[in-house]
Amino acid sequence: MSRTRLPLAALSLASLSALVLSGCSQSSDASKDAGDTAASASAATGKKPAPFSAGAVKVALVRQSGAGDYFEQWGNGAKAQAKALGIDLTVYDAQADNAKQATDLSSAINSGAKAIIIDHGFPATIQPEIDKAVKKGIKVVVYDVETATKGVVATKQDDASMAQAVLDVMAQKVGKDAKVGYVNVAGYAALDKRDTVWAKEVAAQGWKQEFKVGKVTDSTATDNVPLVSAALTQHGDVAGVFAPYDELAKGTVLAVQNKKLQDKVKVFGADVSNADIQQMTAADSPWVATAGTDPSAVGAAVVRTTALELAGQLNKTSVEFPAVAITQDFLREKKIENMDQLREALPALNLSQVSTADWISNVAH
């Protein structure tokens, strides 16, 4: 999700159109840990171009927030792909501290990295450092970050279509002129894009927005429970709540359950991860629909995009990752319990053909 950002499969969502989505995360200390991941790499067949032909290439990953299951998987995918490519990856995680991310980015610029990947962040705090990196000749690839700096490669999910897909389901489930709730935070590119779609859909459906709450912290799910609980105390008659980021959705689900409203209030989220699947398929879960990409596949694809840019082979300034709409009914019908099973049931989640070349050992998902 700058902080936050699915194609459609046969998910009983006939009215939905193709989409795309994403997430965010970070750590307070620099790390070179390759990380654990279930992904395996397919062998490269082509000759490595410069600078990869000369050995390990130093790359920095500067994250705004690495908290949550989605972001952990995103990071694991990035680390696995970096290892497969022979990239020496240093990870900085600001843990939702914007000032620290700017400091981390400054450290990355001075670290000797040939490229810097920026995963989410507020333009106001990191834009000056982005400009410095580009002027210094460092390749910069951003994920879910809005920047107008020439030479920066932008990667993202299609947040608008992702939000629309979920809201199409919400429209079917709650109907027109319903009372609804909203859990979101302004200032993150992906969430702002989803907010634009929400505003249009509220008007189109004649929904009555009874409340808006939400905040992003290093414990977003937990910290939103009291906010949503308080809103539901005053507006327990809402038919549905839209929370377009999975950590926000998790907190909303817990609040709905704490208020014992799971039979009355439906939750519509965004993003998908093992924890999200478990929560959606749990007995009496009010979380009925989400939309997202495979976070591990996205993290890996961003690293491959960076590798192509370093090799002078990308030849574009933006890369979008397709997303998939997912319903609780589909997960339960297919008995899906984790991301591995979801990948098998929805091949559209596989991004192995995005940003690749014959010299890249491509991490398979």
pLDDT at 83: 96
pLDDT at 232: 98
pLDDT per position as a tens digit, 68-94: 777 888 999 999 999 999 999 999 999
pLDDT at 351: 87
At 180 the three-state DSSP class reads strand
**Fold agreement between 50-155+294-322 and 159-292:** yes
pLDDT at 30: 34
pLDDT at 129: 97
pLDDT at 34: 35
Domain boundaries defined on the chain: 50-155+294-322, 159-292
pLDDT at 3: 36
- Non-local CB neighbours of 333 within 8 Å, separated by 6+ positions: none
Tokens standing for residue 310:
């370093």
Number of H helices, E strands in the chain: 11, 14
| Regions in the chain scoring below 70 on pLDDT | 1-41, 66-67, 364-365
pLDDT at 6: 27
pLDDT at 362: 85
- Non-local CB neighbours of 214 within 8 Å, separated by 6+ positions: 182, 183, 184, 185, 224, 227, 243, 248
Cα torsion 171, 273, 319, 190 to 10°: value is 50
The answer to whether 66 and 25 are in contact (CB under 8 A) is yes
CATH code for residues 159-292:
3.40.50.2300
- CATH: 3.30.230.10, 3.40.1080.10, 2.40.50.140, 3.40.50.2300. Which one for 50-155+294-322? 3.40.50.2300
pTM score, whole prediction:
0.71
Residue 159 phi, psi dihedral angles, 5° rounding = -65, -35
